[in-house]
Amino acid sequence: MEITAAIGFDWLLIDLEHGCGSLADLRTQLMAVISGGREGSTPAPIVRIPSVDADIVKFVMDSGAAGIMFPYVSTTEDAAAAVSAMKYPPMGLRGVAGNIRATDFGTNWKTYFETANDRSLVVVQIETPEAVENADQIAAIDGVDVLFVGPLDLSVNLQCPNDFT
């Protein structure tokens, strides 16, 4: 991760859905990304989690991730649940902690809290025919920043596995 972070990418994906890492490894991976970036060009660490789970979201974001990629978001309700788990009140329901890596262990808590909702990136994956049909409405949910097509899952769910034509 450290070497990859130094290459100069804008963002890096840490995959906890299909990758070989785990929540137990995440903090070390995030530290490697954050410390490995060149001065002024640290890549934003984005973490893909297995599902919308508020406890996992809180752990990932408190550990210093810049955003989360949520798989299988097919409806506006799915998207709204992702946003709610990611954002602090009044935009969401994420719990608040002061002495976490994301706040530099409390040294910049006020600034962090005032800007966290704007800086946290919500990436939702479009991987089902229903998600394709609902893409415009999903994109319109306040707090959804990126729609990311999951090509392999989408091709399987469209019953044309691995056919991207």
**Distance in angstroms (rounded) separating the CA atoms of residues 151 and 155:** 6
Residue 46 tokens read as 């984005």
CA 5-7-10 angle, to 5 degrees, is 65
Decide the pairing of beta strands 67-70 and 44-48. Answer: parallel
Q: In what order do the strands lie in the sheet with 146-149?
A: 11-15, 44-48, 67-70, 121-126, 146-149
Whether 25 is catalytic is no
Residues 6+ apart with CB under 8 A from 164: 151, 155
**Distance in angstroms (rounded) separating the CA atoms of residues 21 and 125:** 20
Choosing from 2, 7, 8, 18, the catalytic residue is: 18
Which residues are designated catalytic?
Answer: 18
